[in-house]
Each structure stands twice: as C-alpha cells, then as structure tokens.
RNA sequence: GGUCCCGUGGUGAAGUCUGGAGUUCACGCCGGCCUGUCAAGCCGGAGGUCGCGGGUUCAAGUCCCGUCGGGACCGCCA
C-alpha cells in the first residue's frame, strides 16, 4: 500500500512518486484549492499538499499518493525532520474515517489526566513519546537477549502456574478446576526453577521472565513486570557481575547510542555511611557527615549516648526553610523512624582565610551545643553562613536511613537529568532486622544466599555482622535488580536455617521440593535478576514505569481500558468450587 | 492499613480560602471565509448532573460529613 513511511522523505527523494499511509495529524485549509495535510505514522510526519477540496479530519486513516518536491523558498520547516520537502499533487484515499479523539495525539496529551490516557491507551500509544518508549523497550530487550546469547546463556521458559511458596511477596492465586479448593500461584519470580536448572546441568540459564506480585503499586512497581532472570554454574560473584554488566551496558548502548563506562562497585556499608540508603543516587552530593565522636561527651541530652550521629549540609538553602518547612522535614524524619530532627541555620559572617569569623547557629537547640562542638560541626560539614545543617542521632541504621531519605528529598534531580550513574552494591548483610514473631534474624536477600566466606565463623556467635555474597545493581537511585551466590552445601544451609530459626522439619516442609534435588548434586552457582521496566524507564527518560508499559494498571490495580478486574461470573465460580463472601463491614 | 494532593463542557486550567444566576481563558468540535500554512488565520455557533450522596443555609462549584476515582508517599515489595 505504501512506498515509504511518513518520516522517511528527504531532499534525495525529490521527483519520485510516493504513497504514504497514516493518520491525519493536522489539516490546514486555505480555501477550496489549497490544503495542507500533515500525515503521521510511527516514523514521523510529512506535509502533503492537496489542491482539491478534501474531506479529511483529525485522525482519519488515509493513503496519500503524490510527488515529492522541495518546499518553496521560505516555507522550509526546520522543526520537522522531513521539513525540507513536501508531497505535492496529492490524491487522498480515506481508508477509515475517525471520530475526533478525546485528547490531542501529540505532546499536549502529556498534560492530560493519566486515567483518561489509560482509558484510551491505544490513542495515547499513537503519540511520538509513547512510540519512542515502546521502541526503546524493544531495543533493550533485543540487546539484552543478544548479550546473553553471546555469553552462552540458554533461554529456558519456566511455568506460570506454580505452587505457592511461603516466603516473600504476596502471590496471585489461580484456582484449580480439577481440584476445587486447591490453587496455583503465579510466580513472583522463577527463583526456584532457575536453581533447579543449575542442578539439571544447564550451566547458564536466562529468561525474559514475567513476574507477578500482589503488592501495592508505585511509580516503579506494577503487579506484573519483566525481569532479565539469569543463573550460572561454577562461578563466583565477579563472573555474575561481569555477565550482567555486559547485558546492561549493551542495553544502555542500544537505547542511548552510548556505552556507559564500566560499572563501579561500592560496599553496602559504604553506601549506607555516605548516602544513607542501599540504592544511592550518585549524581549529586549532600553526603552524610559523621559526627558521633564530636558529641561523645556532650551535655545535649538528645545527642548524649546516641549510637550514631550524622548530618547533612544543605548548602545555601537556610533562607528557603521557614518554620513550616522545617516542621515538615521533621515530620518526614519521624515518618522514617527518627525520634527527631535537629536543624541548624548557619548565620553570621565567614572569617578571613584561617579565621573563625563570627559564625553562629540559628536553631532552637543552639544553646545546648558547645563552642567546640559547633566548630567541629562547621569543620566536618564544611558549613558556611546561609547553609542548613540537619542532624540525626539514633541507632546507626535509623540515622543513616533518615538522613538518606532527607538527602533524596532535598537534592535528588529528576531521573532523566544528568549522567547515568550505575553502581554495584556488594556485601549486603546476610540478615536484616529481627522477626517480631520469632525473635530471629530475617534473611536480607533470601534464605539460600551464601554468607561471605570471611564471616562464616560468626553465623552463630554474631549473626547480624555476617556479610553475604549478595549484590544489587543501582542506577540513579533506582534498584534495578539483585542477586547472590547461592548456598550449595547442605551443612552451610543447615547453619543458616538454624540462625533463621527454621528447624529441619520446617525446612523440609517449606523448601523440601526445592532442596531435595540438591542432594543429587548441586553445582556451586549464583545468579541475578533485574527489572527491565525500570531500566527502560530510566533510559527513556521517564519517571514512571507505566510510561514504558503498553497497557499498565493504575495504582489501585485496575485497567481503565478493559475495566479489569471484573466480578467473577457465577458459572465460572461454581465450576471452580468458589463462593464470594460479602464485603466485611 | 495510613498520610498528603487532585476531581469544573471533549481536553487543560481559573473560580473554592472570603457562599450570591454555570462565570472566565486556552485548545478541541460544528458552520462560514480564506492559494503557502505548519500546534495556520479571521468571523459565528454548539457543548455542563462543577465525580457521586447527604447535611448546613434564604442561597452551595464554593462550607461540613461520607463515598468513589486518579496520583505521590509510608507500611508492604524474602
């Protein structure tokens, strides 16, 4: 039907007769004998000149045949890739009339209520931005596959109907028709299967895996999402990191045209100390400053005896923060778990080089801070008049977390601004926090994660200090994915289970179908999984993964286009042996 | 489960704090004019359950209560 696409035509095509198919983006009529029709398809827009009366409206589907010619002097449109040429002597065939769309099919729809965009997603996707996002996604998928194939990974598909597993995210359940009252679960990840593929001798497995988790949705979380899932045998951490890096860097190059530099590494401990989070955004400063020693013998009650005292210095922004905003910062700090937040506005005149000058703090607690302490704060944070210093004193983890959150709130640029800063976070703790019910440590990654060999001795004596061979990949403050080297020896697995408070009977009951196969010869192995939606969103310059998913759900898990979810049909329910309870009051 | 923001012709906004006739702006839509425009221009027109329900009031888009929908976040996401 067509000889070219709407974004193809250039001066080199002048003189050729072409046929274009697409949607009418705009129509500019100048009386009966001259009209401009901008024709759009996924590749772009071309201006077509019609010298007859023509009845086309916005979004009509048409085929236009004409001759490519240079635009007359002074009418070139530099804003359009095809702007040096136009198609003249046009014959227009209307293939399908169209109702006026509910919103303009161009960048103006960026401002339209997202619910309406989702209700008419097929129109939203017709727009340049969304077409670009779909194609960035396709390019990333393709590059990732190619990188995995190059490295001798074998694509294996794992089932979507799996047994429910006790740990981890809430699962979607699928009722069994043949066994009423029994259910499949949809996989929150192919974790168990991929490790069994290692037992099976597959050696290197990968899959573009759809994962489903029935947890509340966020800007970076949907019920269903895609992971590059992979697992390797007879490897250590460096091998896994290298293989994943190849895929991620190839994907980045495919999306942006530029291959990023090798991905740097940082320990979890350093990330927490410097950035207060385990997914640091390295694009900006505002790093945490250590002050615990400064207040070792302080008279200030809020700081005395605190496990950890840290600060961030927000340069030059003291004046922005009135009492109201400072109260909001304090509320935010409390929301994260802090007992309070100390703020100091640095006042006065900085001294000449080497001189202290006449510098003070404007703060409700200024009178509790000694001159020596004040000088140490200024020296360590580098604070000068006009700066806002925020201090938290609490246990180490809370102090880091609160300031890390404030750091992000106060300094984090939009995700598409500035450079891409990839970083591996390594040496995560094996255990994180304590289970309120059992009083036992909780696994940081999952219960099959290998402890760091240097720390194995402390599993029993000092479990909370044991590091693991688990690692995360982080890009511009977003967690892209995580992985670990797995335990393949039963003795070590037993010790970790014991630390977790899982008895042998529990282990057999909960994980038996998974662990028994290891008895037939599990190779040392490890793997990784990273979220493709998140990677694509950042590479496409989007703040929200819904923008890179063709048909996403809203925050409440609904699809305004299909109206899913819908009430169960009584016949279907009966066949499945299900009865719906009335909503609890 | 919780906190905060939003809901006004097809679309986006103003109006809400401080109650007084569905008022306004831009885009779109319909009709007319127009031979070089390009998010064309000019003239005219149509289009509304102010998300929904209740309350206060002589009077509610505006105040109060509830509810539904959307978004950001906390919890949750081994």
CB A538 within 8 A of CB A416: yes
CA of A63 and C1' of B32: distance in angstroms?
Answer: 28
Instruction: Please give the protein residue whose CA is closest to the C1' of the nucleotide B74.
Output: A335
CA of A59 and C1' of B49: distance in angstroms?
Answer: 31
CA of A54 and C1' of B8: distance in angstroms?
Answer: 37
CB A404 within 8 A of CB A308: no
Pairing state between β A183-185 and A173-175: antiparallel
Give the integer Cα–Cα distance in Å for A140 and A569: 39
**Nearest-nucleotide field for A433 (CA, C1'):** B78
Give the integer Cα–Cα distance in Å for A225 and A219: 12
For chain A, list residues with pLDDT below 50. 585
**Nearest-nucleotide field for A556 (CA, C1'):** B70
Query: Distances in Å between the alpha carbon of A585 and those of A123, A416, A580, A581, A582?
Result: 40, 45, 15, 11, 9
pLDDT, residue A200, reads 97
CB A353 within 8 A of CB A364: no
Instruction: Please give the protein residue whose CA is closest to the C1' of the nucleotide B75.
Output: A216
Pairing state between β A264-267 and A422-426: parallel
CA of A325 and C1' of B4: distance in angstroms?
Answer: 14
CA of A39 and C1' of B14: distance in angstroms?
Answer: 35
Instruction: Please give the protein residue whose CA is closest to the C1' of the nucleotide B10.
Output: A102
pLDDT, residue A584, reads 62
**Nearest-nucleotide field for A191 (CA, C1'):** B78
pLDDT, residue A585, reads 47
**Nearest-nucleotide field for A75 (CA, C1'):** B36
Instruction: Please give the protein residue whose CA is closest to the C1' of the nucleotide B29.
Output: A100
CA of A108 and C1' of B8: distance in angstroms?
Answer: 20
User: What contacts A547, CB < 8 A, 6 or more positions away?
Assistant: A129, A130, A133, A537, A540
**Nearest-nucleotide field for A331 (CA, C1'):** B3
Instruction: Please give the protein residue whose CA is closest to the C1' of the nucleotide B7.
Output: A113
Give the integer Cα–Cα distance in Å for A472 and A445: 10
Query: Which chain B nucleotides are covered by protein, judged by CB under 7 A?
Result: 1, 10-13, 27-30, 33-41, 69-78
pLDDT, residue A205, reads 98
pLDDT, residue A509, reads 85
Considering only CA atoms, which of A474, A466, A473 is closest in space to residue A528? Answer: A473
Sheet strands side by side (includes A289-290): A289-290, A308-314, A388-394, A342-350, A357-362
Give the integer Cα–Cα distance in Å for A388 and A322: 11
CA of A37 and C1' of B31: distance in angstroms?
Answer: 21
**Nearest-nucleotide field for A192 (CA, C1'):** B78
**Nearest-nucleotide field for A408 (CA, C1'):** B73
CA of A108 and C1' of B28: distance in angstroms?
Answer: 12
pLDDT, residue A294, reads 93
CA of A483 and C1' of B28: distance in angstroms?
Answer: 51
CA of A46 and C1' of B45: distance in angstroms?
Answer: 32
Give the integer Cα–Cα distance in Å for A303 and A502: 39
**Nearest-nucleotide field for A72 (CA, C1'):** B36
Extract the tokens encoding A320. 């922005």
């Amino acid at each position: 039907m067509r000889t070219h696409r709407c974004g193809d035509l250039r001066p080199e095509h002048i003189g050729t007769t072409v046929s274009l198919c697409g949607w009418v983006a705009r129509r500019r009529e100048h009386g009966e004998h001259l009209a401009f029709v901008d024709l759009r398809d996924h590749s772009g827009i071309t201006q077509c000149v019609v010298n007859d009366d023509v009845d086309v409206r916005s979004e009509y589907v048409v085929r236009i045949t004409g001759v490519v010619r240079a635009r007359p002097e002074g009418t070139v449109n530099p804003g359009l890739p095809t702007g040096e040429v136009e198609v003249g002597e046009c014959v227009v065939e209307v293939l399908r009339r169209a109702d006026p769309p509910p919103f303009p099919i161009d960048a103006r729809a960026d401002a339209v209520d997202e619910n309406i965009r989702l209700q008419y997603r097929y129109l939203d996707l017709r727009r340049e931005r969304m077409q670009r996002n779909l194609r960035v996604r396709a390019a990333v998928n393709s590059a990732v596959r190619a990188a995995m194939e190059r490295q001798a990974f074998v694509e294996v598909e794992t089932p979507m109907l799996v047994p429910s597993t006790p740990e981890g995210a809430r699962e979607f359940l699928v009722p069994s028709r043949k066994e009423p009252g029994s259910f499949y679960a949809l996989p929150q990840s192919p974790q168990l299967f991929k490790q069994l593929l290692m037992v099976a001798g597959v050696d290197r497995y990968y899959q573009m895996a759809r994962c489903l988790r029935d947890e509340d949705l966020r800007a970076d979380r949907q019920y269903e999402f895609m992971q590059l899932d992979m697992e390797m045998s007879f490897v250590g951490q460096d091998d896994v990191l290298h293989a994943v890096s190849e895929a991620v860097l190839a994907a980045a190059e495919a999306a942006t045209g530029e291959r990023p530099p090798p991905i740097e590494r940082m320990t979890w401990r350093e990330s927490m100390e410097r950035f207060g989070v385990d997914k640091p955004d390295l694009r900006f400063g505002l790093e945490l400053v250590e002050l615990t020693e400064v207040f070792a013998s302080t008279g200030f009650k809020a700081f005395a005896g605190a496990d950890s005292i840290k600060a961030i210095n927000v340069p030059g922004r003291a004046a922005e923060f009135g009492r109201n905003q400072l109260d909001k910062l304090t509320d935010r700090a409390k929301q994260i778990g802090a007992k309070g937040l100390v703020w100091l506005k640095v006042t006065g005149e900085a001294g000449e080089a080497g001189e202290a000058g006449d510098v003070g703090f404007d703060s409700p607690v200024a009178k509790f801070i000694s001159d020596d302490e004040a000088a140490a704060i200024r020296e360590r944070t580098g604070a000068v008049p006009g700066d806002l210093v925020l201090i938290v004193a609490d246990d180490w983890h809370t102090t880091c977390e609160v300031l890390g959150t404030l750091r992000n709130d106060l300094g984090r640029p939009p995700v598409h601004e500035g450079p891409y800063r990839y970083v591996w976070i390594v040496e995560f703790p094996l255990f994180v926090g304590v289970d309120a019910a059992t009083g036992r440590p909780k696994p940081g990654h999952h219960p099959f994660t290998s402890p760091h060999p240097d720390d194995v001795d402390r599993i029993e004596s000092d479990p909370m200090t044991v590091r693991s061979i688990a690692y995360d990949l982080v890009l511009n403050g977003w967690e892209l994915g995580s992985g670990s080297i797995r335990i393949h020896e039963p003795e070590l697995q037993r010790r970790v289970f014991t630390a977790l408070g899982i008895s042998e009977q529990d282990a057999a009951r909960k994980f038996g179908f998974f662990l028994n196969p290891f008895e037939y010869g599990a190779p040392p192995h490890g793997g990784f999984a990273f979220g493709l939606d998140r990677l694509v969103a950042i590479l496409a310059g989007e703040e929200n993964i819904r923008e890179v998913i063709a048909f996403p759900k809203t925050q409440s898990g609904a699809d305004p286009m299909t109206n899913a979810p819908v009430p169960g049909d009584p016949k279907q329910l009966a066949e499945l042996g299900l009865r719906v309870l009335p909503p609890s009051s």
